[in-house]
């Protein structure tokens, strides 16, 4: 029999009785699964933490250490192991007391101390604003989380108890904490499949952000849920069919959590519409039974087209597996049904918590294959987010980038091999490529969606199969940063642009400098006196590889460097080399948005800091206004790769289906529409001006489209803009 908890743990401490009562509740949970020696370790940790926090009080007036005990209880209910429980009890010691890291290591070891340090906030510096400290602490926790996911589990338990006791804070602080919980911590829990935490955090945040709406919705939904008797009818009709097949399964009502119901109401516009479908869950013993049950459900009730998803065959990236289907009963009720096994249900409810226990406690057992995949998916996701740190060294920017990544709604798309990739709404094939692999993103040149060509920067839709076409010679372009939406893609693009391969950077920079030298002095880099170059490098405290890299990335102007090397004022010359443009995706090449140059048109290049060379059409009005010293000769290669943007404006007479006819012509010519707008003609009220931004192969391709559009009688005028 396990020895009872000592009654003298908190003798002499402020609020000892209340601490003893909280610890007793904790022990009632712990004795069900911890060994006696582990319970003694917990007692020692309780005493240490309580003494460290002695005299500190919560806003509610309770001894502060009741909070770490409550956090530990949350984790004990999920049956976490000893180091996690100890870290929960000590999670504020390094942050809020005089105990130092080395002291805690000496007392409890490196593992526990590292977990505590990962959850702890940074010391507030006098020159830092509170928002900066919060962002810096979040980044610190995030880095620790990628090394050991238990850090975020402790943090979520900490946030859960804080949300449960948020009522003692000022109203403005409650709202700020609730909003942060909803946007960041509940989202992280959802991404990791920690639905035990996610659902509670969302509902608690809802109750503080919109207290009146929460109470009203809670009252109405509870009444609706209790009065619904459809479940008895479904059991009566479906159970005999399953018994005849020898299938054992439970059929139960599924209760929606209130925040999810509130979001559903906003989409559906009313409470009745939001609860019109009746959620049920059928839990079977074996995976094969799930599909047999699905067959019987569809034979009994009419399936609703477009309302079926098989997450057993294609699990979500957080490991979630289940069959979803919606059916219409003869009595006109709509059933929203989930069908899964008990293992799938455990994983869906607890996420990586259940997987964590398998890996720590049952390594000698054969793991369920998808549980291991879920654990790996969790690690992959954390690893991908760690890459986001390369976006910026500014903690506030980092925090906002991760928050944006977390709060955007998800869509699920597939690789050609059927792997599920989760992306935020608005994500493009470029985002998809970087989500799969950095190398895929860095060298992508085109995409196919469901087997058809698809623009690289068009938003993907749910359930599409995406294939990325690569070219080893292609590389990211600075323009991409304006067009991708995921932090992972932005990080990958910035990383590539800021860390170009040294050989490539030197080659490009040397080429730019060579051209600039020839424009000024008719002497190339190879003929330049080495003493002049050495003097320049010494004077500017820079080496040759760095000089060429800065030139390639636009940090230095080739014309200014060439002028300094030759010791003369800038001047023009007709003896300049020509830069050949092979693709819109060439490194350090940008196509100007003001004139949308196309292959086979006469073009000119503008040297741009942090970009490289921006390409304009020769007729671009901008050229006359710019500094002519920053221009270089460029021309298209005989063969170009990729697609290019072109903008055209049409003046058309109003008639039915005019837009459908025009877009059909564009589609017939195998061009994509990237953007579209319409406005009333400035001079004639019966005309409309349509603006299309298209992706085309070259000037000839665009000319063919324009010729076809001109044959349409309602088109009064067409012009490139």
Q: Which residue has the tokens 């479904």?
A: 234
What share of the chain has pLDDT > 90, as a percent? 25
Q: What is the pLDDT of residue 125?
A: 41
What is the DSSP track for 553-591? TTSS-HHHHHHHHHTS-----S----EEEEETTSTTEEE
Q: Which of 95, 111, 237, 400 is catalytic?
A: 95
Handedness of CA 633, 637, 641, 643 (dihedral sign): positive
Q: What is the pLDDT of residue 100?
A: 92
Nearest to 410 by CA among 427, 429, 433, 434: 427
Please give the average per-residue pLDDT across 585-601, as a whole number: 77
Q: Which of 38, 43, 62, 96 is catalytic?
A: 96
What's the CATH class of domain 228-350?
alpha beta
Q: What is the pLDDT of residue 130?
A: 54
Q: Is 96 a catalytic residue?
A: yes
Q: What is the pLDDT of residue 601?
A: 85
Q: Is 203 a catalytic residue?
A: no
| CB distance 631 to 607 below 8 Å | yes
Nearest to 600 by CA among 634, 643, 642, 636: 636
| CB distance 189 to 156 below 8 Å | yes
Burial degree of 12 (CB within 10 A; 0-12, 13-18, 19+):
exposed
* Long-range CB pairs of 56-64, under 8 A, 24+ apart, other chains included: 56/96, 56/97, 57/14, 57/15, 58/165, 58/168, 59/168, 59/169, 60/165, 60/168, 62/15, 62/18, 63/13, 63/14, 63/15, 63/18, 63/19, 64/92, 64/96
Q: What is the pLDDT of residue 511?
A: 80
* pLDDT bracket for residue 292 (50, 70, 90): very high
| CB distance 66 to 112 below 8 Å | no
- Determine the Cα–Cα distance for residues 287 and 249; give it in Å rounded to an integer: 12
Tens digits of per-residue pLDDT, 482-505? 788 887 788 778 777 766 556 666
In 211-367, beta strands by DSSP E: 249-253, 277-284, 302-310, 323-328, 334-341
| CB distance 298 to 327 below 8 Å | yes
Least confident of 139-143, 585-589, 702-706: 585-589
Tokens of 120: 């702890």
Q: Is the pLDDT of residue 372 over 80?
A: no
Alpha helix ranges (H) inside 127-194? 130-147, 150-164, 171-180, 186-191
Q: What is the pLDDT of residue 700?
A: 85
Nearest to 274 by CA among 201, 347, 336: 336
Q: Is the pLDDT of residue 401 over 80?
A: no
What's the CATH class of domain 644-720?
alpha beta
| pTM reported for the whole predicted model | 0.60
Q: What is the pLDDT of residue 567?
A: 67
The β-bridge partners of 424 are: 410
Out of 134-143, 231-240, 627-636, give the one with best mean pLDDT.
231-240
* pLDDT bracket for residue 468 (50, 70, 90): very high
| CB distance 508 to 588 below 8 Å | yes
Please give the average per-residue pLDDT across 393-405, as a whole number: 63
Give me the phi and psi of 70, to 5 degrees please.
-65, -35
Q: What is the pLDDT of residue 178?
A: 92
Tens digits of per-residue pLDDT, 422-435? 788 888 999 999 98
3-state secondary structure of 309: strand
The β-bridge partners of 508 are: none
Neighbour count for residue 649 (Cβ, 10 Å): 14
The CATH code of domain 1-120 reads: 1.10.3210.10
- Determine the Cα–Cα distance for residues 428 and 412; give it in Å rounded to an integer: 12
| DSSP state letter for 121 | P
- Determine the Cα–Cα distance for residues 453 and 529; give it in Å rounded to an integer: 51
- Determine the Cα–Cα distance for residues 159 and 144; give it in Å rounded to an integer: 17
Q: Is the pLDDT of residue 49 over 90?
A: yes
Q: What is the pLDDT of residue 590?
A: 78
Q: Is the pLDDT of residue 573 over 60?
A: no
Give 344's contacts (C-beta < 8 A, 6+ positions apart): 312, 321, 322, 370
Q: What is the pLDDT of residue 71?
A: 95
CATH number of this structure's domain 408-484, picked from the four choices 3.40.50.300, 1.20.1600.10, 3.10.20.30, 2.40.30.20: 3.10.20.30
Give 372's contacts (C-beta < 8 A, 6+ positions apart): 355
Instruction: Output 89 or 150, whichever has higher pLDDT.
Output: 89
Q: Which residue has the tokens 């399936």?
A: 303
- Determine the Cα–Cα distance for residues 560 and 542; give it in Å rounded to an integer: 16
For the chain, the structural domain boundaries read 1-120, 228-350, 408-484, 502-639, 644-720
Nearest to 6 by CA among 29, 37, 27: 27
The secondary structure element, H or E, covering residue 454 is strand 452-454
Q: First-to-last CA distance in the chain?
A: 85
Instruction: Output 568 or 417, whichever has higher pLDDT.
Output: 417
| CB distance 459 to 428 below 8 Å | yes
Neighbour count for residue 702 (Cβ, 10 Å): 21
Q: Is the pLDDT of residue 367 over 50?
A: no
| CB distance 329 to 304 below 8 Å | no
- Determine the Cα–Cα distance for residues 116 and 138; give it in Å rounded to an integer: 14
Tokens of 71: 């956090």
């Amino acid at each position: 029999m396990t020895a009872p908890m000592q009654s003298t743990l908190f003798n002499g401490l402020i609020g000892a009785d209340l601490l003893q009562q909280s610890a007793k509740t904790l022990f009632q949970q712990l004795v069900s699964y911890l060994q006696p020696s582990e319970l003694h370790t917990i007692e020692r940790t309780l005493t240490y933490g309580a003494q460290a926090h002695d005299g500190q009080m919560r806003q509610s007036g309770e001894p502060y250490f009741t909070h770490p005990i409550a956090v530990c209880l949350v984790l004990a209910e999920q049956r976490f192991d000893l180091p996690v429980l100890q870290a929960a009890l000590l999670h504020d010691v390094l942050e809020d007391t005089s105990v130092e890291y080395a002291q805690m290591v000496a007392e409890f070891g490196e593992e526990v101390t590292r977990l505590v340090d990962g959850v702890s906030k940074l010391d507030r510096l006098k020159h830092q604003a509170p928002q900066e400290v919060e962002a810096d602490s979040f980044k610190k926790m995030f880095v620790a989380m990628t090394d050991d996911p238990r850090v975020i589990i402790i943090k979520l338990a900490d946030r859960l108890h804080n949300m449960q006791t948020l009522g003692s804070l000022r109203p403005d602080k409650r709202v700020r904490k609730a909003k942060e919980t909803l946007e960041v911590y509940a989202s992280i829990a959802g991404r990791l499949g920690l639905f035990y935490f996610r659902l509670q955090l969302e509902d608690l945040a809802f109750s503080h952000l919109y207290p009146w709406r929460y109470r009203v919705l809670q009252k109405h939904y509870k009444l609706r849920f209790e009065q619904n008797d459809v479940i008895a009818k479904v059991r009566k009709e479906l159970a005999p069919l399953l018994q005849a097949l020898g299938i054992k399964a439970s059929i139960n009502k599924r209760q929606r959590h209130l925040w999810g119901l509130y979001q559903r109401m906003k989409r559906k516009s009313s409470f009745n519409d939001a609860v019109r479908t009746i959620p049920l869950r059928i839990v079977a013993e074996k995976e094969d039974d799930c599909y047999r049950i699905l067959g019987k459900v569809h034979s009994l009730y009419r399936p609703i087209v477009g309302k079926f998803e098989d997450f057993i065959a294609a699990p979500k990236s957080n490991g979630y597996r289940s069959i979803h289907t919606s059916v219409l009963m003869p009595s006109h009720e709509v059933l929203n049904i989930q069908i899964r096994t008990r293992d799938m249900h455990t994983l869906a409810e607890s996420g990586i918590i259940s997987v964590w226990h398998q890996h720590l406690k049952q390594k000698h057992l054969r793991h369920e294959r998808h549980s291991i995949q879920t654990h790996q998916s969790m690690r992959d996701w954390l690893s991908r987010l760690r890459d986001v740190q390369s976006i910026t060294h500014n903690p506030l920017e980092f925090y906002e980038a991760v928050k944006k990544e977390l709060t955007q709604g998800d869509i699920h798309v597939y690789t050609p091999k059927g792997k599920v990739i989760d992306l935020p709404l608005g994500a493009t094939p470029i985002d998809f490529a970087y989500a799969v692999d950095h190398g895929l993103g860095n060298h992508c040149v085109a995409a196919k969606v469901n087997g058809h060509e698809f623009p690289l920067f068009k938003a993907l839709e749910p359930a599409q199969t995406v294939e990325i076409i690569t070219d080893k010679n292609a590389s990211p372009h600075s323009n991409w940063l304006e067009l991708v939406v995921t932090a992972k893609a932005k990080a990958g693009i910035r990383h590539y642009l800021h860390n170009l391969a040294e050989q490539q950077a030197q080659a490009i920079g040397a080429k730019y400098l060579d051209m600039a030298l020839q424009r000024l002095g008719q002497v190339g880099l190879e003929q330049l006196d080495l003493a002049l170059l050495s003097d320049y490098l010494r004077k500017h405290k820079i080496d040759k590889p760095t000089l060429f890299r800065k030139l390639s990335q636009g940090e230095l102007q080739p014309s200014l460097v060439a002028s300094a090397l030759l010791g003369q004022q800038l001047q023009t010359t007709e003896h300049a080399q020509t830069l050949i443009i092979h693709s819109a995706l060439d490194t350090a090449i940008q196509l100007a948005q003001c004139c949308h140059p196309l292959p086979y048109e006469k073009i000119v290049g503008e040297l741009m800091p942090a970009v490289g060379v921006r390409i304009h059409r020769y007729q671009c009005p901008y050229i006359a206004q710019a500094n002519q010293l920053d221009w270089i000769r460029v021309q298209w290669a005989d063969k170009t790769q990729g697609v290019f943007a072109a903008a055209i404006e049409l003046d058309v007479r109003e008639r039915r289906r005019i837009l459908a006819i025009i877009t059909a012509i564009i589609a017939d010519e195998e061009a994509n529409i990237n953007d579209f707008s319409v406005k009333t003609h400035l001079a004639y009220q019966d005309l409309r001006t349509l603006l299309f931004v298209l992706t085309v192969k070259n000037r000839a391709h665009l000319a063919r489209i324009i010729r076809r559009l001109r044959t349409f009688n309602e088109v009064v005028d067409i012009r490139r803009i």
